[in-house]
């Protein structure tokens, strides 16, 4: 159980390509947000402390690019949830995360007063774009969601 990784260049820094293999049964111990219906990638929004996902080094802000080999680029949020929930004995996630080298070049915000809430309303992203992400702490909080959190975050 854990991430296998490789570094890939990305705009503005490096991302790390990662694979996590979790052994079931569910619950897996994480929540997701995003999807084609939100015009954002599938992103880990919360990880349960001491859960299976945490043991596999899954972190909030990690972008999930495939679930059990199925590409998530065109998945609706509910489709991604269902693929995860249907994984009974094994769950394989491939994803991307920013490297610490990339974080060193970013301005980190630690003040809660200057950080907008995760479910803030913003201008919708143009079709085909993933919207903007803002690093709030080293475990990658994401902002810019255009739907209330209650409609896009589900414990899996």
Q: Summarize pLDDT for 85-102 with one digit per residue, the tens.
A: 999 899 999 999 876 554
Question: What secondary structure does DSSP assign to 83-148, as a single string?
Answer: HHHT-SSEEEEEEEEE-HHHHHTS-----TTTSPPTT---PPPPTT--------STT------SS-
Per-residue pLDDT reduced to its tens digit, 114-155: 334 443 333 344 444 344 333 333 333 333 344 444 444 555
Domains of the chain are 3-155 (2.30.42.10)
Per-residue pLDDT reduced to its tens digit, 14-25: 778 999 999 989
How far is residue 97's CA from residue 125's CA, in Å, rounded to a whole number?
21
pLDDT surpassing 80 at residue 33: yes
How far is residue 77's CA from residue 37's CA, in Å, rounded to a whole number?
7
Of 11, 65, 46, whose CA–CA distance to 140 is shortest? Answer: 46
Q: What is the mean pLDDT of the chain?
A: 71
Find the mean pLDDT for residues 78-85: 98
CB 94 within 8 A of CB 66: yes
**What predicted TM-score, i.e. pTM, was given to this entire model?**
0.60
């Amino acid at each position: 159980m854990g991430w296998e990784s490789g570094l890939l260049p990305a705009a503005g820094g490096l991302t790390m390509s990662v694979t996590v293999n979790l052994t079931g049964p569910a619950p897996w111990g994480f929540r997701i947000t995003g999807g084609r219906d939100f015009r954002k990638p599938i992103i880990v929004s919360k990880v349960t402390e001491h859960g299976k996902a945490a043991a596999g080094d899954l972190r909030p802000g990690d972008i999930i690019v495939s679930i059990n080999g199925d590409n998530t680029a065109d998945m609706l949020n509910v489709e991604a949830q269902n693929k995860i929930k249907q994984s009974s004995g094994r769950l394989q996630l491939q994803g991307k995360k920013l490297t610490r080298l990339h974080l060193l070049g970013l301005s980190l915000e630690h003040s809660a007063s200057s950080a907008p809430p995760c479910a803030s309303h913003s201008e919708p992203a143009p079709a085909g774009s993933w919207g903007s992400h803002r690093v709030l702490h080293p475990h990658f909080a994401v902002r810019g969601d255009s739907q209330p959190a209650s409609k896009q975050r589900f414990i899996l």
